[in-house]
Structure 1
């Protein structure tokens, strides 16, 4: 069982970074392990400035291949996998001979839409970058993409790239269920509407042991030779039959935590069915109409105009994020991916604070008043609490 689940935002800007917001990336922290979602320019610098440990990054999930979500992937891979610039004819370098495959380390797993594999492979080839550890790319194939058997790159397999990368077929309902599974988590994905193919991810923790009331079991445990061993079994929700025939049943398991992490979108409806009942929804809120609060608000603008402008570019307003959070029954909404005009130093800047409060209130108005809405800023960490029932 994972005791601590949290999200650290490494970049919360939209198309252009600013002095207070870096390009898109966030780190999902599962006890000591780290999974990145998107990897915009300078993500590795943000990791170095944060409490996230580079060496703990195991998986990277890309929502779409726009530059502000993927330009930092190659530099981060080079840092994470001890990469170095090689020579064009550097066949004598052990990394060029595939030594990375023989390392006893698990590969970095990269998930993303069609083109992710080609981007990584070509970037490494044409920068003559040699990696000191293995990686693998799994592509989520839309129905409109080339056949699953077709590779997204005409280049040969990179010396550090494992050949086990999957081309994951989109199901009839449009989703990609169970793209990753472990004893503790299941990751699924679904398309969300943007200006280019884009996906959202759902991370579901498997059911966890229920709360234990030891007083119910102590009288029985005293009659066993290994009470601690029996107690551990009960804590995991198992049933134990004692030598005298007494059946002890552990507490019923509780639902695990559920996170929904969206990429850029003007309509995430296709993911709604697998996103329902999320503990945390992370949703973009690129543009907002804030008359009287944002000094850069155009006099001729109305909410309808801003809404139309945002959706025409594939993006959302805070109200759209709040409405979707309500639709799927989310417990908490975190707004992300803000226009460069919205500064991320609202803990110090009074104008920025008022703007972000207004953005939060706009989303809250369409969400539930008794549920929390948070505006993300760089290096903010949000904990995901375990469910009580």
Structure 2
């Protein structure tokens, strides 16, 4: 069975704070690392964590606001052995077509994001004269009204950039933008102040739990090789020499993880997100009278919600309602205003919980819990946990 681990590298919204960095999440799938968003300072956060930079194979960008993408170019330069080129790159041997065959040998680092992601990466590499020693590819998720970017057509393609896909939406979603034998990724638009995407990572069905006592006696009785147990473990049937048919246990549903970008309404992803084992939902603003010293005298829960929506964001209650709507197993709140400190104090380096921060986050958690009966967790930088099977798989 696969190991799925989530590590939060940054949990702040808009501006970083002393205890929260810009948005970034590392998903470790066995040996690979997939990043979801890459805010400023992400490579520093990786260095401070147990996540391995060299394992990063995919980056999924939810939207192109700076607090979610400003760390992408530095990460590419580090991950792909970048170096400064010459002003006249035509005379730099590293920028010549000779390197094309070399950079395509290794599996390229894949980047997924909304329209504009490719131009952002290409422009940043061009104007910083950054030459990469390994290849990358950008796949863009296109909406019906998206048009080819005229700026992109005028930019020279970096030697390290391989052709990517322009993935069109089908019936409102981008189904299976990536799929391998173990995991698939689908996406859907969610409503924010700019085009934004939510991602759904789904594990393939896993073999059911097998009881050898139900099968081995029959295999021995008919002289069937024990290797037939491998077929049965995969849920297949085995016909014995006496005509008996042994049927392996049915496969069980794999795990589902939903990572939402910034949003005031994630309704378009509802169907894809149903029965998520873990739902990661932003909770940028909260009304915390008596706890948050910056609470305005005339604020109420409805006023704070409307203010949050007007800026494209959610409150903890909105996150809780959506978690209940999709019947999620666990809700993780993320993307907090910089005035809500994480409960990790970097001055101690021991993960101490400061009383004021702990009280604030507990109050935010309770607001979400008022609308969602499942477990609720408030994310903090460097928090890490494994995604468990909701149906008791051992």
TM-score (structure 1 length as normaliser) = 0.94
Q: Partner residue of 2:379?
A: 376
| CA distance in 1 between partners of 2:360 and 2:65 (Å) | 27
Q: Partner residue of 1:351?
A: 356
| CA distance in 2 between partners of 1:378 and 1:48 (Å) | 13
Indicate yes or no: 2:195 matched with 1:210.
no
Aligned length: 382
Contact kept in structure 2, 1:255 and 1:387, CA below 8 Å: no
How far did residue 95 of structure 1 move? Answer: 5.0
Q: Secondary structure at the match of 2:122?
A: helix
| CA distance in 2 between partners of 1:98 and 1:377 (Å) | 45
Structure 1 gaps, min length 5: none
| CA distance in 2 between partners of 1:79 and 1:100 (Å) | 19
Q: Secondary structure at the match of 1:47?
A: helix
Change (3 A) 1:95 1:245: farther
How far did residue 86 of structure 1 move? Answer: 1.3
1:43-192 aligned within 5 A: 43-90=42-89, 91-94=91-94, 96-97=96-97, 99=99, 101-103=101-103, 104-146=105-147, 152-163=152-163, 165-171=164-170, 173-192=171-190
Over 6 Å off, 4+ runs: none
Change (3 A) 1:80 1:289: same
Change (3 A) 1:95 1:218: farther
How far did residue 252 of structure 1 move? Answer: 0.4
Q: Partner residue of 1:34?
A: 33
How far did residue 242 of structure 1 move? Answer: 3.0
| CA distance in 2 between partners of 1:67 and 1:108 (Å) | 21
For structure 1, which segment, 6-15 or 173-182, has the greater mean C-alpha deviation from structure 2 after superposition?
173-182
Q: Partner residue of 1:330?
A: 328
Q: Partner residue of 1:362?
A: 367
Contact kept in structure 1, 2:224 and 2:240, CA below 8 Å: no
How far did residue 174 of structure 1 move? Answer: 1.6
1:135-284 aligned within 5 A: 135-146=136-147, 152-163=152-163, 165-171=164-170, 173-222=171-220, 223-224=222-223, 226-227=225-226, 229-284=227-282
Q: Secondary structure at the match of 1:288?
A: coil
Q: Secondary structure at the match of 1:204?
A: strand
How far did residue 151 of structure 1 move? Answer: 8.1
How far did residue 58 of structure 1 move? Answer: 0.8
Q: Partner residue of 2:348?
A: none
How far did residue 83 of structure 1 move? Answer: 0.8
Contact kept in structure 2, 1:98 and 1:160, CA below 8 Å: no
| CA distance in 1 between partners of 2:270 and 2:382 (Å) | 28
| CA distance in 1 between partners of 2:80 and 2:238 (Å) | 46
Structure 2 gaps, min length 5: 345-351
TM-score (structure 2 length as normaliser) = 0.93
How far did residue 231 of structure 1 move? Answer: 1.6
Contact kept in structure 1, 2:135 and 2:162, CA below 8 Å: yes
Q: Could you list the per-position Cα deviations for residues 223-250 of structure 1 after superposition, in whole angstroms to 9, with x for gaps in the alignment?
A: 44631x2222221222222344332221
Q: Could you list the per-position Cα deviations for residues 188-222 of structure 1 after superposition, in whole angstroms to 9, with x for gaps in the alignment?
A: 11110000000101111111101111111121233
Contact kept in structure 2, 1:333 and 1:373, CA below 8 Å: yes
State which of 314, 317, 320 in structure 1 corresponds to 2:315: 317
Aligned Cα root-mean-square deviation (Å):
1.7
